Amino acid sequence: MARIAVLPSAVADQIAAGEVVERPASAVKELVENALDAGATAIDVTVEEGGRQLIRVSDDGSGMERDDAVLALERHATSKIRLASDLVGVQSFGFRGEALPAICSVSQLLIETAPADGAGTAVHAAGGSIQEVRDTARRRGTTVDVSRLFYNAPARQKFLRGARSEWRSILETMTTIALNRRDVRFTLSHDGKQSFSLPAAHTLRDRVAALWGANVADRMVDVEDVRGAIQVSGLAERPADVGTASRRTFITVNGRVIRDNGIIRAAETAYRSTISAGLRPSLLLEIVVPSASVDVNVHPAKAEVRFQDRWVVERAVEDSVRRALGTFDASAALGVRRWSLNGANWNAPASADVELLRPLAPDDSGLFAERDDDVTAGQPLDAPPEPEFPPVHVEPEPRAPIAVPALLQLKRTYMMFEHDDGVVLIDQHSAHERVLYEKFMGMLERGEAPSQRLLFPLTLHLSPAEGEAFEAHRDLLAKLGFEVDGFGGHTLLVHSVPMPHPRFDAERCLRETLATLVGDRAGATHAKHERLAATVACKAAVKAGDELSQGEMRALFIALGDTRLPAHDVHGRSTIVQLSWPELERRFGRQ
């Protein structure tokens, strides 16, 4: 007796349906993508009982002739490709001719369609077989009704979730599609109640505001960058707002929505040293790569892609998000209205008179070198020479002439200045911490160790745990400028120390750093570098309550602008807070 046989077409269709139509949301996705591929500018989706009873997708696309409408229910029938070579760089959403016949094989299906200048056609089918084909009167476009999904596959139907759960999945699917295709009007209704009605939007931010509200859109900073042949755009959550609301992620590659944990991790890496451990930001990113460098035909539901060179793409994403977080717009704000400092970018030249800026001098006194002869509030400066220790990973760029606004210290903790668009506050400790962190990271990565020799060595008596922390970080501390010898037991002799600024208390900094590092288990070398640099920066930075001179404030203001991520300290706190004039006037009742 033969043990191998060719499956009947009905069984093969149901197997294909299992790959393509996992649940009602899968059917919605396939039908809406077919409508988009047909050139629809308006799509209406109606579902009942979470899609288990009815799914209706209506569009104003190109429609189909009678013969095409019948042929569309045959397996592997498609208008998207003709040759195997067409699979390389395919741009359409659906292209393998499986969705409609797979859905039809496990449901009762009605297609009503008409081209722009032809008669309408209605096709009734059930369980994969066409029951009736007739003429119908309708305008251009297509409406597909899917009823009683999985009615002939009780095992599949039994494992569907409740109506509410299936509806949430459909809502998530439609939200993702609406984010991706902002040029299309969408409506979505469930059990007679409209969930959303979205007009066509010009920008991703506009679509986000229409879906989730202006307050959510306001928490985002624009990402727009090009790295060679790779373009990355979209929105990334401001570090100051991460963790304050639900996290949302949305990734597209060449216009196709995908799931890719590697890209998400790369984007999250850009937030390193700006948010607390464990927090995860919202990210809505659109990536464009050469079509020949990505394979879109690697997943039954087209939810994943394969890159020819994944590392290059992930690096481009990380760099683009980090660059966006380094702008003035990434800083926190009081109220919901955020604004830009005349479009100035902290890490790029700007035409604005007020730009956040470069260190004043590369001498040993570091950040707080007094240069009153060269720096006068509100007066422009010529571009200064490159600092002795430039910020890590930043290529030097030509700078426009610099002007420093008049700065006022508040409560010996905050620096404030006025701008045409509002008031800006800077936390002096957080700002200095960011400056020192990036300076120390540069020293650790390049192995440079500028230091000052002490006339009389410091003697430090450590606990056993602190002694172990010192031994674990001895080499890294030497790179920062601490020259230390053992003096028996857990006693240390400190011969040289770094001098990041004249207020630096080397003994206190080293003691507090070792106390903080007790029990530190950072495994990766880079993580260990970051942990030590962040700890020393925190202990070495000026403190709240320290009175700063005008020269010191100006120097800190300028040095902060030369960091990669000026708006955030290494603990995830904001260094800068904006208060716009409209928000201030609203608080005083002037608006």
Work out the angle between the directed axes of helices 163-180 and 24-37 (0-180°, nearest 10).
Answer: 20
pLDDT of residue 393: 43
Band of pLDDT at residue 300, cut at 50, 70 and 90: low
Which CATH class for the 204-325 domain? alpha beta
Instruction: Please compute the mean of the pLDDT values over residues 434-458 and round it to a whole number.
Output: 84
Alpha helices in 405-523 (DSSP H): 428-446, 464-479, 506-517
Is the domain spanning 9-198 CATH 3.30.565.10? The answer is: yes
What is the 3-state secondary structure of 105-150?
A: HCCEEEEEEECCCCCEEEEEEECCEEEEEEEECCCCEEEEEEECCC
Q: What is the pLDDT of residues 206-230, one digit of tens each?
A: 999 999 998 899 889 999 999 889 9
Query: First-to-last CA distance in the chain?
Result: 88
Give the predicted TM-score (pTM) of the model: 0.73
Band of pLDDT at residue 332, cut at 50, 70 and 90: confident
The architecture that CATH gives domain 451-497+504-540 is 2-Layer Sandwich (3.30)
Q: What is the pLDDT of residues 94-150, one digit of tens each?
A: 434 467 888 888 899 999 999 988 889 999 999 888 999 999 999 999 999 999 998
pLDDT of residue 445: 83
Is the domain spanning 332-437+545-587 CATH 3.30.1540.20? The answer is: yes
Band of pLDDT at residue 446, cut at 50, 70 and 90: confident
pLDDT of residue 8: 59
Of 305-319, 359-373, 461-475, 542-556, the poorest mean pLDDT is in 359-373
Q: Where are the domains of the chain?
A: 9-198, 204-325, 332-437+545-587, 451-497+504-540
Band of pLDDT at residue 364, cut at 50, 70 and 90: very low
Residue 36: its H or E element? helix 24-37
Q: What is the pLDDT of residues 469-519, one digit of tens each?
A: 888 888 888 888 888 888 777 788 999 988 887 778 888 888 888 888 887
Torsion angle in degrees (nearest 10) through CA of 559, 564, 565, 571:
-90
